[in-house]
Amino acid sequence: MTKLRIFLVLFAWGSAAFAQAYHPADAYRYVSSLGSDSNDGLSPGTAFATPQHCNAVVVALGGGTCDARTLYHYTYGNGQGPILVGQHSPNIGATLLLPPYGTWTCNITGGTSDCLEVFNYGSAIGASSGQGNPFTIIASPTSSVIDVCGTDPSISSAYLHMEGLHCVAQAGATASGAVVNIQNLFDVSRVTDIVGESAATGVKAIWVHGVYAGAMVERVKGSGDNVAGNVPCTLGAVNGENEGGDIGPISCTNSGSGSSAVSIVQASGSAAAHYHDIYIEMNVATDTSTPAITVTGSSGLADELEVVKVGGDAAGNASTRCILDIANNSSVIVRNLTQNNSTCAINDHTIGRGIINLGDQAVITDYSTENVCCALASSFASLAASGIRNDKGLQLFETTTTCSTGATINSPCTTAEINLPVGYQDTNYRLQCQGLGPTNFPQLQTVTKSNATFTITVNNLTAAAASYNSFDCLAAHN
The confidence band for 175, taking pLDDT boundaries of 50, 70 and 90, is very high
pLDDT in tens, 418-475: 998 888 878 888 899 999 999 999 999 999 999 889 999 999 989 999 999 999 999 8
Preceding peptide of 421 cis, ω within 30°: no
Report the pLDDT value the prediction gives residue 20, as an integer from 0 to 100.
62
Report the pLDDT value the prediction gives residue 18, as an integer from 0 to 100.
45
Is the pLDDT reported for residue 33 higher than 90? yes
The predicted model gives 82-102 an average pLDDT of 95
The predicted model gives 36-58 an average pLDDT of 97
Cβ neighbours of residue 300 closer than 8 Å, sequence gap 6 or more: 268, 331
pLDDT in tens, 308-357: 998 888 888 788 899 999 999 999 999 999 998 888 999 999 888 889 98
Is the pLDDT reported for residue 185 higher than 60? yes
| Cβ 139 vs Cβ 149: under 8 Å | no
Domains in the chain, ordered, with CATH? 21-162+177-182 (no CATH), 204-387 (no CATH), 394-477 (2.60.40)
The confidence band for 95, taking pLDDT boundaries of 50, 70 and 90, is very high
pLDDT in tens, 267-317: 876 678 899 999 999 999 899 999 999 999 988 889 999 999 988 888 887
Q: Which amino acid is at 149?
A: C
* Strand ranges, E, within 267-354: 274-282, 293-297, 303-313, 322-326, 332-338, 344-348
